[in-house]
A = this chain, B = another copy of it.
Amino acid sequence: MVLDTNTRVVALVGGVGGAKLVYGLSTILQPDQLTVIGNVADDFELYGLHISPDLDTVMYTMAGLANPTTGWGIEGDTWHVLEMLQCYGEDAWFRLGDRDLGTHILRTQWLRQGHTLTVVTQRLISSLGVKSRLLPVTDDPLVTMIDTVEHGTLAFQDYFVRHRWQPTVKHVWFKHADQAHMTESVKTALHDADVILVCPSNPVLSIAPLLAVPGMREMIEKRRAVCVGVSPFVGGNAVKGPAAKLMQELGMAITPRGLIDFYAGGLDGLVIDVSDRDQPLHADVPVLVTRTLMQTSEDKVRLARELFKWVGSITT
């Protein structure tokens, strides 16, 4: 396929790792070429505020506000609201920065006023100067649930933050998924896409909830777009976070092959890290071997460029 300034890219993304690649893409594409579909299954309510950790990580990263050390939150943020909540005896288990809370306060207000999460997210991100679209996969409730050996069933943030993803995972499922609807914006974006990119996000916790929304998997299977993935693994491990530990506990292989199997024929190509080049692959899935670790802005832009160039060489 020929890639040019008319090529429309849809990125499926979770949090930190995927957000970095999205940032790289946003620097090489025109704003209207890029639509990002974000995960909402880690959304939760805290202190009466609607928190959307994955959407915010993508939004802050695209806006150039993200904390480069943690990958989440806002660079230089402070913790004074949280300190006050602790004065009132609250357990501040989830780290909410002051500037970050500005986002949650407005989101919550606008949702209560009856706006959809799609509208609210668009309003927030465009106020921060980002011109590409960031779409929640659904405006309906969707919650990642983790069945663990030690603590029974945990809601995602309980597992991820409160228990620091240490419990052993038996099963992951998505509460309310059967009643969730793809938004019209998501349908249109997928329908119009020339390239669908599965970002280097946690396959089970970030990408699977997107695919759990009825219709998503079917639309991707019936695509006319090229669908490529970027492996979140480096050297047979996750760069950060629970992906490798959790997938092992679920009996999945932390390899490019394991990833291709997980996406069950959905990928027309896969980008893997040089450190994983000796892992076995099927010959029928084209692979780009490069450095996938994104530590600097230059890394993000370089990977996006290589990816985009390579996608043009894939024939489906």
User: Chain A: residues with CB nearer than 8 A to chain B?
Assistant: 47-49, 74, 77-78, 80-85, 87-90, 97-103, 105-106, 108-109, 112, 123-124, 127-128
- Do residues B90 and A106 form an inter-chain contact, with CB atoms below 8 A? yes
Taking the full assembly, how many copies of this chain does it contain? 2
Most buried by B among A78, A97, A105, A109: A105
Interface of A: prevailing SS? helix
Q: Please report the C-alpha to C-alpha distance between residue A97 and residue B90 in the assembled complex, in whole angstroms.
A: 19
- Do residues A102 and B88 form an inter-chain contact, with CB atoms below 8 A? yes
- Do residues B87 and A48 form an inter-chain contact, with CB atoms below 8 A? no
Chain B residues whose CB sits within 8 angstroms of the CB of A77 once the complex forms = 80
Chain B residues whose CB sits within 8 angstroms of the CB of A108 once the complex forms = 48
Chain B residues whose CB sits within 8 angstroms of the CB of A49 once the complex forms = 105
- Do residues A48 and B109 form an inter-chain contact, with CB atoms below 8 A? yes
User: Nearest Cβ in chain B — how far from A67, in angstroms?
Assistant: 14
On whether A102 and B78 interact (CB within 8 A), knowing A48-B109, A124-B88, the answer reads: no
Q: Please report the C-alpha to C-alpha distance between residue A88 and residue B99 in the assembled complex, in whole angstroms.
A: 11
- Do residues A85 and B98 form an inter-chain contact, with CB atoms below 8 A? no
In the A-B complex, list the 3 residue pairs whose CB atoms are closest, starting with the nearest: A84-B102, A48-B109, A80-B98
Chain B residues whose CB sits within 8 angstroms of the CB of A109 once the complex forms = 47-48
Q: Please report the C-alpha to C-alpha distance between residue A77 and residue B87 in the assembled complex, in whole angstroms.
A: 14
